[in-house]
């Protein structure tokens, strides 16, 4: 009996060890294949995200209740100060609105004179979503939102909070989407200073505060400058608010993101059609089509006399000046 038990134990240990080795190798394989080619598990990933998004929506409801309770106590305790601040801001904004209306009329007149379209790139359509999972992990900073392709979200769309730019969509499922936050190590966004309109690239560092890189002239950037998207990358629209510049002692430009002013709960997605680079194949096709057109038209165009005769256009009389 003991002998059989010993054999069974050894078999169990051996099978466990074998399972561990196989699964560890599979995990390693997934890790490296996922890094080099994200599409291997893409379909499974979006399915899990769709399920996770729905599950998290319901499972975290009690937590949301707690959050809202805490927030409402906090809001009540600051109600008086908040009211005073809002009154002051309302007074300031009334003046700003009057100026903005005057500017809009002026802009409209100028655009009519110059025949240009001064409309902003920021789309009018917004898709409201809830950030059901916000991950600030050691490897990745991303978020899962509960809208997907069914609601019109597509890859590359900008995601905003009420305070500013949150990130952009990197993967779209039918009911959920994965958002790469500005703080993520892989995030690169073309930005500019609202004051000097100097360009730079905002680079995520897997920390709360991303940095500005490719700053051509440091003199164009100063502490407190408001950073907005420049639209130069053709991926995000121009003018989305990002944050304010902070200069460190060693001269590095960091950006305090506006999104950190409040909890991120509700967000909205801007469906924006990114500007794609010209397609080489299309150009080749066009050239072929043009050549084909030309092959039909050229003989008629070159044969001026025939065309002239057909259209009853008299040939230009020879004045004899060419011979002088």
Partner 1 sequence: MLADEVTVIKARIIAIQAGIALFVLVILANGTFNFVGHTIPFLFVPLIVIYFWPKGADPALTYIVLFLCGLVHDFLNGGSPGIWPMVFMIGWMITRPYLSSKEVGLTLFWFGFVVWMGVLALVFLLLDFWGQDHIAIGNVIFQIGVAILVFPLLYGIRLLLRNTVFGGMD
Range 164-183, binding partner 1 (CB under 8 A): 178
Collect contacts of 212-218 with beta carbons under 8 A, ≥24 apart.
212/245, 212/253, 212/254, 212/255, 215/253, 218/251, 218/253
Size of the site for partner 1 (CB under 8 A): 54
35 near partner 1 (CB under 8 A): yes
34 near partner 1 (CB under 8 A): yes
Q: Which of 6, 10, 16, 216 binds partner 1 (CB under 8 A)?
A: 16
Backbone angles phi, psi at 146, to 5 degrees: -95, 30
The H-or-E segment that residue 56 falls in is helix 42-59
Backbone angles phi, psi at 170, to 5 degrees: -110, -20
Taking each helix axis from N to C end, the angle separating 61-77 and 79-114, rounded to the nearest 10 degrees, works out to: 100
209 near partner 1 (CB under 8 A): no
Q: Which of 154, 241, 256, 263 binds partner 1 (CB under 8 A)?
A: 263
Q: Which of 2, 3, 32, 320 binds partner 1 (CB under 8 A)?
A: 32
Binding segment (CB under 8 A) for partner 1, from list 56-64, 192-200, 220-228, 246-254: 56-64
Residue indicated by tokens 């599979």: 26
3 near partner 1 (CB under 8 A): no
39 near partner 1 (CB under 8 A): no
x-or-dash pattern for partner 1, window 272-291, by CB under 8 A?
A: --------------------
135 near partner 1 (CB under 8 A): yes
Residue indicated by tokens 């978020």: 143
Complex with partner 1: residue 64 or 99, whichever CB lies closer: 64
Distance between terminal CA atoms of the chain? 126
Q: Which of 81, 91, 102, 144 binds partner 1 (CB under 8 A)?
A: 144
The set of residues, in sequence order, having a beta carbon less than 8 Å from that of 4 and lying 6+ positions away, is: none
55 near partner 1 (CB under 8 A): yes
Binding segment (CB under 8 A) for partner 1, from list 8-16, 212-220, 306-314, 315-323: 8-16
The H-or-E segment that residue 55 falls in is helix 42-59
Rounded CA separation 93/83 (Å): 15
Can you count the helices (H) and strands (E) in the chain?
A: 6, 12
Rounded CA separation 128/144 (Å): 13
Q: Which of 2, 73, 107, 133 binds partner 1 (CB under 8 A)?
A: 133
**Residues near partner 1 (CB under 8 A):** 4-5, 8, 12-13, 15-16, 18-20, 23-24, 26-32, 34-35, 41, 44-45, 48-49, 52, 55-56, 59-60, 63, 67, 70, 131-140, 142, 144, 178, 185, 205-207, 263-265
């Amino acid at each position: 009996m003991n002998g059989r038990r010993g054999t069974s134990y050894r078999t169990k240990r051996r099978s466990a060890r074998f399972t561990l080795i196989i699964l560890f190798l599979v995990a390693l394989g997934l890790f490296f294949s996922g890094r080099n080619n994200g599409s291997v598990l893409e379909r499974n990933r979006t399915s899990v995200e769709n399920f996770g998004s729905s599950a998290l929506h319901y499972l975290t409801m009690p937590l949301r209740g707690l959050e809202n309770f805490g927030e409402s106590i906090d809001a009540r305790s600051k109600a008086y100060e908040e009211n005073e601040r809002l009154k002051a801001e309302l007074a300031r904004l009334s003046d700003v609105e009057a100026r903005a209306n005057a500017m809009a009329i002026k802009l409209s007149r100028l655009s009519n004179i110059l025949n240009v379209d001064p409309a902003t790139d920021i789309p009018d359509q917004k898709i409201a979503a809830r950030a059901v999972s916000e991950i600030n992990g050691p490897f990745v900073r991303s978020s899962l939102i509960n809208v997907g392709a069914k609601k019109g979200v597509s890859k590359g769309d900008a995601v905003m909070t009420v305070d500013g730019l949150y990130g952009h969509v990197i993967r779209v499922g039918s009911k959920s989407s994965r958002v790469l936050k500005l703080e993520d190590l892989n995030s690169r966004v073309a930005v500019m200073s609202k004051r000097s309109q100097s360009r730079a690239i905002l680079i995520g560092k897997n920390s709360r505060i991303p940095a500005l890189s490719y700053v051509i002239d440091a003199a164009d950037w100063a502490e407190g400058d408001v950073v907005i998207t420049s639209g130069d990358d053709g991926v995000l629209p121009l003018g989305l608010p990002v944050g304010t510049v902070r200069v460190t002692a060693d001269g590095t430009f960091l950006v305090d993101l506006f999104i950190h002013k409040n909890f991120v709960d509700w967000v909205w997605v801007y469906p924006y059609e990114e500007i794609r680079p010209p397609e080489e194949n299309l150009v080749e096709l066009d050239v072929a089509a043009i050549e084909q057109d030309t092959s039909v038209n050229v003989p008629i165009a070159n044969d001026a006399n025939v065309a002239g005769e057909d259209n009853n256009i008299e040939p230009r009389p020879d004045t004899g000046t060419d011979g002088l």
